[in-house]
Structure 1
């Protein structure tokens, strides 16, 4: 008979250890069957009660579990705070396990034995497992994956393919590729076949890890199976091409997406634009910039700056100036980095008067240049030896602007 006393209480985790052992004592209960006497396995629950080494021992012919209440003086402040923040709506069985997991110390106990004891004592259902896993996820608890993997083997959890996919995706976010693949193999061993969601998670994982071949093989597998390809699957594969330096192939895939009216997320377009910009391929950078707008993404100052950088890197000063003016006409205020790029353009073409006009226009719009642009401007003027002349011109501009404001008043 299973006995569970005080379900709201939990172990003092820094010394909690479950020890399975055998007891060969004859039971005083004459009604026990031969089966019970031949299988007298029980658990001894060791917990701190004051000094280490003191324990409470529960022995019987049948398995029996007792949860000893945590001594708040023997846990740290962080553990007490986590326990205090547990949701009030948690059931007693979930709260009891959460307290033990919060205070769990691997040096003193085994997570599998702890969870086994909870299952045998509490008889959880799938909803209980999901509540515990959700709380561990919210806490970003280091044991959340171990608990999830244990749950996959429990009948009470009633695991399905989506449970495996969630774990694979979780490992992917932590770049734990081998653990994710182990979970995938365990899923297949249970007879589950990969579906669209699982394969998409794998493409994203392999793409993020920079494993282009596995990402491409998985992507092709989805096509062969006739599974629908959504923006996440396409986007992850495009990112795999970008990371592999295969920009043209990635752009071709973007075109394929658009032909099916499937559009990647802004991060994918930005990555493609940035890659072309860094290589100075202004033609494809502009084409990607146009595709961004077709996808319904409104360009911001970062996107515009990357496009301008493509023209500057390509040495196309006129096109960079046009892009800068188009940005300003669209009401997008240039950043300090963007202004710095334009200073590079004007310095290369030795257009001192033009740069002063632009700076004054920016000042009228309430835009003051920052550190990066200021350093570039000072270095340029110093090289020209016209620091005093520029200061005089700026003073003249300032007095003209003040007089015009006075006339308007």
Structure 2
């Protein structure tokens, strides 16, 4: 009996046993008819009526290599078939001992293939379908025995003598791969069950239950732990496999043939000619044998020292005692002798000096600054420009201008030009103390280095211009910020608006207000009040009232300061009736005047010599429990002096002389003119001396008034 015929009979018996059907004995004629039926083009699986199978994707199907389980099945089957060919009498015993994996594969394959054939040929009876399945299984097993299923698929298109068509082979390949995947998943599932029941997983589940994990979460954790254990087991199995392969390779290398090959290679290496000249080696086209690369290596070494600085030297013995003495110094003691002794003992580098400075900074801040300044001239400290800028920054932040300028002087003596950081610190420092010239110098230094100032530098410089009474220069810097897409803050806008308002510059105040609105800042009570003050200072009460009404219209309720500014605007033009009408209207809306509004009214009534009315306003201020503002005392002194009320005039004058530092040039002029008008010439002359002592010079009109009063009266009015 031939091997092929034996394989056919054995496969048929497996098929009948798995499906539980007893096929009748087929004659050779029926088999030939069925074979012709399957391979006929009219019944091909690529028939246009059944073209649904023509688009099935075909994977690389090599049953002997793709799956280890199936490989074992083939090996077992072929081996047993060979034994069956040698011993035909034991055929039934071999069938009983078939491998379980082979049986499972055939069972799954026949089950799926039967459904596909029945779906494609619904008119055929079961007998014909079984015959077709028998033919397919026979051909499949024969190709499995050859071990080249993919080559058979390619050859079927060229050789028309094949039993099965190309499309049928594609369907067989698809079903076989599907069966192998299902078997692999089933094997993995069974393996997973074993790990789910392992002792370690059970122990972790018990612990999880004790800490309160229940239900679906516990189930997820259980599968997660089992999967991790399975992956760990597979990993160690792969390591064992690699170890076995390595051992096998070593055994092969120890064979006589490998030893002879190694000796031949060694003899060939000895026989190589010697190299002459210098060795030249290139990496990516760079000739690294060039001497210039030694310089590059030195620079790299220096860069590494910067990135990974050295550790300070350990301090012990006498040096440790000197260090403790340095740390215990008082602010008034000179640390130079101890520093010299410490230097002789330790021979420090920059790292050691920095470690000492850090300790001083933690224990005594003043001593730290003193020692840091002394180290600027120390050679072993390796002073750089950053050390100077740090000290300047520290002194500037603590408002020690003299110390900062002393450090700058040392920089200039060393020939070190201030860098960008130092120039920025100087801008902030001089702007803060109000030294506009030095601030502008530092600002120009920044630009000379090609550095574009940042927002903080711009803000400091703008505030310096504002404090110096030059808001237009500050506005130009603000426009420069906007041109560079740096948005000024609301504080900068308000500072410029306040400066323009105090000087009565209505055009500048209007520009800043409009710019604020374009920048997205809505008009606030403060900005509206500043606009009212600006128009009041400029002597335009109508525009001031328009801004006042606009403020109320947009929902801001005027406060005491805003109302006082509006009344002061009317005072400029002596429009008392409009001021009173405004106050009456505001009182109807629930407004109560405060100290600021009353102070303006006292000043206005004093200028009109309405003493009784002014004193009534003073009574209202006292009723509120507030102290009189300093400006009110100036108004009272002027009013009582002009009215000739000596006692009250001198009383108010005494208050002003006690706070003479707060008086400005205009205040002195008004008080002296009031004293002269009231006949208090001696007091006026005395106050003129105080004015000059404060650094103010009397105007020509005031000097003329004093001379005239002395010539005409020479004494006080009774």
Q: Name the TM-score class by shorter chain.
A: 0.5 to 0.7
The residue correspondences of 1:139-288 to structure 2 (distance < 5 A) are 142-143=366-367, 145-150=369-374, 152=376, 161-173=385-397, 176-187=400-411, 193-288=417-512
CA RMSD of aligned residues (A): 4.3
Shift of 1:371: 1.9
Cα distance between partner residues in 2 of 1:206 and 1:384: 48
Shift of 1:261: 1.7
Shift of 1:312: 0.8
Cα offsets for 1:340-380 (capped at 9, x unmatched):
112223554322233211233243xxxx4322223445776
Cα distance between partner residues in 2 of 1:182 and 1:331: 54
Quickly say closer, same or farther: Cα 1:305–1:354, change in 2 above 3 A: closer
Quickly say closer, same or farther: Cα 1:64–1:168, change in 2 above 3 A: closer
Number of the residue aligned with 1:340: 564
Shift of 1:300: 5.1
Q: Is the Cα–Cα contact under 8 Å of residues 536 and 570 in structure 2 kept in the other structure?
A: no
Quickly say closer, same or farther: Cα 1:298–1:198, change in 2 above 3 A: farther
Moved more, 256-265 or 282-291: 256-265
Quickly say closer, same or farther: Cα 1:216–1:3, change in 2 above 3 A: closer
Secondary structure, counterpart of 1:194 in structure 2 = coil
Number of the residue aligned with 2:585: 357
Number of the residue aligned with 1:129: 357
Quickly say closer, same or farther: Cα 1:339–1:191, change in 2 above 3 A: same
Quickly say closer, same or farther: Cα 1:381–1:227, change in 2 above 3 A: closer
The residue correspondences of 1:7-26 to structure 2 (distance < 5 A) are none
Secondary structure, counterpart of 2:328 in structure 1 = helix
Unaligned regions of 5+ residues in structure 2, if any? 1-313, 618-718
Cα distance between partner residues in 2 of 1:232 and 1:251: 16
Shift of 1:280: 0.9
Cα distance between partner residues in 2 of 1:303 and 1:97: 59
Cα offsets for 1:41-77 (capped at 9, x unmatched):
xxxxxxxxxxxxxxxxxxxxxx56648xxxxxxxxxx
Secondary structure, counterpart of 1:288 in structure 2 = helix
Shift of 1:310: 0.9
Number of the residue aligned with 1:28: none
Quickly say closer, same or farther: Cα 1:189–1:336, change in 2 above 3 A: same
Cα distance between partner residues in 2 of 1:160 and 1:166: 11
Cα distance between partner residues in 2 of 1:130 and 1:3: 15
Quickly say closer, same or farther: Cα 1:100–1:360, change in 2 above 3 A: farther
Number of the residue aligned with 1:312: 536
Cα distance between partner residues in 2 of 1:206 and 1:333: 39
Number of the residue aligned with 2:597: 373
Secondary structure, counterpart of 1:229 in structure 2 = coil
User: How many residues are paired up?
Assistant: 291
Cα offsets for 1:219-255 (capped at 9, x unmatched):
3332232112112333333344445544433322221
Q: Is the Cα–Cα contact under 8 Å of residues 212 and 241 in structure 1 kept in the other structure?
A: yes
Cα distance between partner residues in 1 of 2:381 and 2:589: 66
Quickly say closer, same or farther: Cα 1:4–1:179, change in 2 above 3 A: same
Number of the residue aligned with 1:110: 334
Cα distance between partner residues in 1 of 2:611 and 2:570: 13
Cα distance between partner residues in 2 of 1:117 and 1:301: 66
Secondary structure, counterpart of 1:276 in structure 2 = helix
Quickly say closer, same or farther: Cα 1:215–1:304, change in 2 above 3 A: same
Shift of 1:284: 0.6
Shift of 1:256: 1.7
Cα distance between partner residues in 2 of 1:116 and 1:297: 61
Structure with more of its chain in helix, by fraction: 2
Cα distance between partner residues in 2 of 1:178 and 1:376: 43
Cα offsets for 1:88-143 (capped at 9, x unmatched):
xxxxx8xx689736xx251xx3234456677868985646634643775xxxx554
Larger radius of gyration: 2
Higher RCO (C-alpha under 8 Å, 6+ residues apart): 1
**TM-score using structure 2 length:** 0.34
Cα offsets for 1:3-36 (capped at 9, x unmatched):
868xxxxxxxxxxxxxxxxxxxxxxxxxxxxxxx
Q: Is the Cα–Cα contact under 8 Å of residues 346 and 354 in structure 1 kept in the other structure?
A: no
Secondary structure, counterpart of 2:589 in structure 1 = helix
Q: Is the Cα–Cα contact under 8 Å of residues 285 and 307 in structure 1 kept in the other structure?
A: yes
Q: Is the Cα–Cα contact under 8 Å of residues 331 and 366 in structure 2 kept in the other structure?
A: no
The residue correspondences of 1:41-52 to structure 2 (distance < 5 A) are none
